[in-house]
Amino acid sequence: VPELTQQMFDPKNMMAASDFRNGRYLTCSAIFRGKVSMKEVEDQMRNVQNKNSSYFVEWIPNNVQTALCSIPPRGLKMSSTFVGNSTSIQELFKRVGDQFTAMFRRKAFLHWYTGEGMDEME
């Protein structure tokens, strides 16, 4: 469980290309599967939250949810899933916005939309 918990918060295991250390978690949920003690899960999550308290907002109490399914995934002893709502996602939105602005200035791909009847400002 400690290794799974550590891997859940590792930026290289995130599906979005943003580093949570550049933001703060509003809420998060950790779901564990396998023969795992719920007490151990909650203790590990509490430890992570206490050690990294600067990465969690203080104005949302109880912002970490844990769940446990005792049936392990096929072929594994245990696994975990992490879903987090972090302000660091703004990095990704800023990158996409900058890329959009650069492409819109060049009118790249605009013909696909105007050809379907959309106005340039839509």
Q: Which two tokens stand for residue 21?
A: 């250390």
Q: Which two tokens stand for residue 27?
A: 């809420």
**Do 77 and 97 fall within a single domain?**
no
**Do 95 and 82 fall within a single domain?**
no
The answer to whether residues 33 and 78 touch, using CB atoms and an 8 Å cutoff, is yes
Its pTM stands at 0.77
**Do 82 and 93 fall within a single domain?**
no
Range(s) of the domain holding residue 94: 89-122
**Do 29 and 64 fall within a single domain?**
yes
How many domains would you assign to the chain? 2
Q: DSSP character for 107? A: T
Domain of 117: which CATH number?
1.10.287.600
Q: Can you give the pLDDT of all 122 residues of the chain as single tens digits?
A: 889 999 998 888 888 888 888 899 999 999 999 999 999 999 999 999 999 899 999 999 999 999 999 999 999 999 999 999 999 999 999 999 999 999 999 999 989 998 999 988 88
**Do 83 and 93 fall within a single domain?**
no
**Do 98 and 79 fall within a single domain?**
no
**Do 114 and 70 fall within a single domain?**
no
Q: By three-state DSSP, how is residue 60 classified?
A: coil
